[in-house]
Amino acid sequence: MNNRRPVRIANCSGFYGDRVAAAWEVLEGGDVDVLTGDYLAELTMLILWKARQKDASGGYAKTFLSQMERVMGTCLDRGIKVVSNAGGLNPEGLTDRLHELAATLGLSPRIAWIEGDDLTDRLPELVAAGHPLTHLDTGKALADSNTKAVTANAYLGAWGIVDALRADADIVVCPRVTDASLVVGPAAWWHGWDRSDYDALAGAVAAGHVIECGPQATGGNYSRLPAVPDKRRPGFPIAEVAADGQVVITKQVGSGGHVSPGTVTAQLLYEIQSPAYANPDVVAHFDTLRLEQQGPDRVLISGATGTAPPPDLKVAINQLGGYRNTMTLVLTGLDIEAKADWARAQLFDVLGGEDTFDEVDVRLLRFDRPDAETNEQATAHLRVTVKSADKNKVGRRFANATMELAVGGYAGFHTTTPPADASAYGVYWPTLVPLDVVTHSVVLPDGTRRVVPHGPTATPVESQPVSALGTDVTAIAGETRRVPLGTVCSARSGDKGGNANVGIWTEDERGFAWLDAHLTVERFRELLPEAADLEIRRWALPRLNALNFVVVGLLGAGVAETARPDPQAKGLGEYLRSRHVDVPVALIELEESRR
């Protein structure tokens, strides 16, 4: 370890489509050493694949070029390194475009790019070599799948980024590295860490996970809205990573939003599963983390413990599942259920029956109320989704059939959208491959290609879901009141492939003692009826006063395939907070005293 000052690493993108001006705004808001941006998610890889079918030179996040057009000169003048996964499916292509952009700006940045994640063309070879590429949730082997894989990308680690920065690269273009690698790489380079500096690396993984989604760490999507004093658009986060792996999360000066232990907890719990958070370079144990408010908009993350990474890399495979279409019929006023039943029967009579399709999903969404004060408040939606390998079955033929109910169906018939054609959808397939089948390489600014060796690994001890800690709750027992769970708890939810993740936490240990005892898997299942028949995993993170739940299969085969109205489970945590439970009055009063 060295005693160099903490490295200031900023985020300027939480997803492909995020605020283009963010890169400039972050640089205007204070000094940073490294500018990072996260553009990739499982769905994004499918989006980039579709873009590449139209233009073979594409396959990268084009918005990154727009950002660099404005800030490349500033970054070079101030010595700010840029590390991004905007390369997507075509990091070499993005590197070429960056060189072209730099030439038009009269600049000469040193650009490196990473490769080795793309396994798409190698899938048959891997299966033939005895790698089953088993689905992590279903246990099904890839060879037993009847759908075509169009993308397959291994999650690479941080050491290719380290090599690029050591070769004095100004910009590092990454493909599918882990989100945290965008912070781990610069931190390891800055502080001269070794591959076995597991605790420091774990702290950097925590930092990377916190800032990867941009303003979600600074008040964005935060369930405790009154706790965010500055209601302006939240600024983008900055992680100050010290040599020992301790991290301060802050944000750009003068920006909106708020950084607190609550906003940082929300992002730490976002889209994780076990507290043993596996990355290619370290397993970061999130249940060892502690948070402390150091000052206005400054939260210290300490206590990170890391262990050797696993011997496998995660691979995200996207398959073409077929075609889908959705039409939403509006039902108004009286006899909502009878109207819905009649509409469904008429529609599929026109179409030749529900068996015409590979899959049918019909949902009656009730927004209506008796004696509504407005027309809109008297409406419900009948949402009909059909899927088929035959595009013609679910295209205009299906959409136009709904319109045949217009004058011969239920009273008040209308739809939310005009008829539309079918669209292709993807199926997400998460799996693992041994490290030795992946060649992680970096192409340095001088054109030299260097293979990045894999480091030492260990078979991780499987984290077991915790049902309860048995905490003594005597101090907060007594009289209860039936109130929404969100009266005393915060939450953050999201997707991990076909699984939904819900993190829920309290402000202090006393609240957590009650939450840990109260919110068992069984009670969670009662509060979330759509998970009644699904596997639910539960973990406790006492140092964060938090529980984490994973609902396996709630989202089907992932966001691109599911017919669920909230396909990424973004609102699931808020739904859980809205459910009424019996809460000790003393705990309610404690929460009220904080306001």
**Res 474: pLDDT:** 53
299 and 340 both lie in a single domain: no
Residue 44 CA: distances (Å) to CA of 59, 179, 249, 428, 505? 10, 13, 27, 11, 30
Segment 350-361 shows an average pLDDT of 96
pLDDT (mean) for 222-232: 88
276 and 350 both lie in a single domain: no
- Residue 84 included in any domain: yes
For residues 407 and 100, which has the higher predicted lDDT (pLDDT)? 100
pLDDT of residue 206: 98
Q: Between helices 159-166 and 181-191, what is the axis angle to 10°?
A: 50
Residue 594 has pLDDT above 90, yes or no: no
* Residue 152 clears pLDDT 90, i.e. is over it: yes
3-state helix, strand, coil in the chain (%, to 5): 35, 25, 40
Calculate the dihedral angle through the C-alpha atoms of 389, 390, 396, 402, rounding to the nearest 10 degrees.
-70
- Is 376 in the same domain as 483? no
The domain total for the chain is 3
Q: Clarify whether residues 291 and 169 are in a common domain.
A: yes
Does 465 fall in a domain?
A: no
- One-letter amino acid at 571 equals G
Q: Is residue 76 part of a domain?
A: yes
Same domain, 68 and 175: yes
Q: Is position 521 within any domain?
A: yes
pLDDT exceeds 70 at position 464: no
SS (H, E, C) 549-594: EEECCCCCCCCCCCCCCCCCCCCHHHHHHHCEEEEEHHHHHHHHHC
Q: How many helices (H) and strands (E) does the chain have?
A: 16, 26
Q: Note whether residue 429 is domain-resident.
A: no
Predicted confidence (pLDDT) per residue in 514-527, tens digit = 999 999 999 999 99
| Domain match, 159 and 184 both | yes
58 and 193 housed in the same domain: yes
Mean pLDDT, rounded, for 352-380? 96
User: Which pLDDT score is estimated for 1?
Assistant: 45
Confidence at residue 560, expressed as pLDDT on a 0 to 100 scale: 85
Average pLDDT over residues 433-457: 96
**Under 8 Å between Cβ of 84 and 172:** yes
My answer on whether 296 and 367 are in the same domain is: no
Whether residue 88 is found in the same domain as residue 62? yes
| Section 423-443 average pLDDT | 95
> Quick check: is 312 in a domain?
no
pLDDT at 469: 44
Q: Is the pLDDT of residue 403 over 60?
A: yes
Same-domain check for residues 292 and 376? no
> Residue 68: what pLDDT?
97
Reported as a single tens digit per residue, the pLDDT across 27-62 is 998 799 999 999 999 889 999 999 999 999 999 999
Picking from 421, 452, 482, the residue at the C-terminal end of a domain is 421
Query: Worst-scoring range by mean pLDDT, 32-41, 79-88, 199-208, 466-475?
Result: 466-475
Reported as a single tens digit per residue, the pLDDT across 247-285 is: 999 999 889 999 999 999 999 999 998 999 999 999 999
What's the per-residue H, E or C state across 113-151? Answer: EEECCECHHHHHHHHHCCCCCCCCCCCCCHHHCCCEEEE
Does the pLDDT of residue 477 top 80, yes or no? no
Residue 290 CA to residue 206 CA, distance in Å, equals 11
What pLDDT is recorded for position 468?
42
- Dihedral pair phi/psi, residue 239, rounded to 5°: -110, 125
- Do 325 and 398 form a contact (C-beta atoms < 8 A)? yes
Give the closest residue to 325 by CA, choosing from 404, 406, 401: 401
Local confidence band at 473 (pLDDT 50, 70, 90 cut-offs): very low
pTM to 2 decimals?
0.94
Q: Does 59 map to a domain?
A: yes
For the ranges 100-109, 221-230, 494-503, the lowest mean pLDDT is seen at: 221-230
Mean pLDDT over all residues of the chain?
A: 94
Domain end marker among 355, 389, 421: 421
The CATH number assigned to the domain holding 403 equals 3.30.70.360
Strand 34-37 relative to strand 7-11, pairing: parallel
Complete DSSP assignment for 329-385: EEEESS-HHHHHHHHHHHHHHHHT-GGGSSEEEEEEEE---TT-SSSGGGEEEEEEE
Q: Enter the tokens of residue 431.
A: 């799996």
Q: What are 334's two structure tokens?
A: 């009286």
Pairing relationship of beta strands 34-37 and 81-84 according to DSSP bridges: parallel
178 and 38 together in one domain: yes
**Conformation bin of residue 289: beta by default, left when phi > 0, alpha when psi is -120 to 50:** beta
Average pLDDT over residues 404-429: 94
Q: What are phi and psi of 154, to 5 degrees?
A: -80, 145
Q: Which pLDDT score, from 0 to 100, does residue 2 have? A: 59
Question: Which of 381, 402, 421 finishes a domain?
Answer: 421
Evaluate whether residue 134 is within a structural domain.
Answer: no
Residue 478 above 90 pLDDT?
A: no
Contact 318, 49 (CB under 8 A): yes
From CA 270, how far away is CA 206, in angstroms rounded? 11
Strands (E), 156-255: 171-173, 237-241, 247-251
**Residue span of the structural domain in which 161 resides:** 7-118+153-306
Q: What pLDDT is recorded for position 579? A: 97
* Co-location of 416 and 353 in the same domain: yes
The strands making up 536-541's β-sheet, listed across from edge to edge, are 490-496, 499-505, 546-551, 536-541
Q: Say which range, 280-284, 351-355, 557-561, has the weakest mean pLDDT.
A: 557-561
Tokens of 587: 């705990």
CA pair distance 575, 570, nearest whole angstrom: 10
Residue 461, pLDDT score: 64
Whether the predicted pLDDT of 414 surpasses 60: yes
Residue 355 has phi, psi (to 5 degrees) of -70, -10
Q: Which of 197, 411, 410, 209 is nearest to 307 (CA)?
A: 197
Cα torsion at 560, 561, 565, 568 (round to 10°)? -50
Q: How far apart are CA 565 and CA 361, in angstroms?
A: 11
- Of 541, 468, 470, the C-alpha closest to 503 is 541
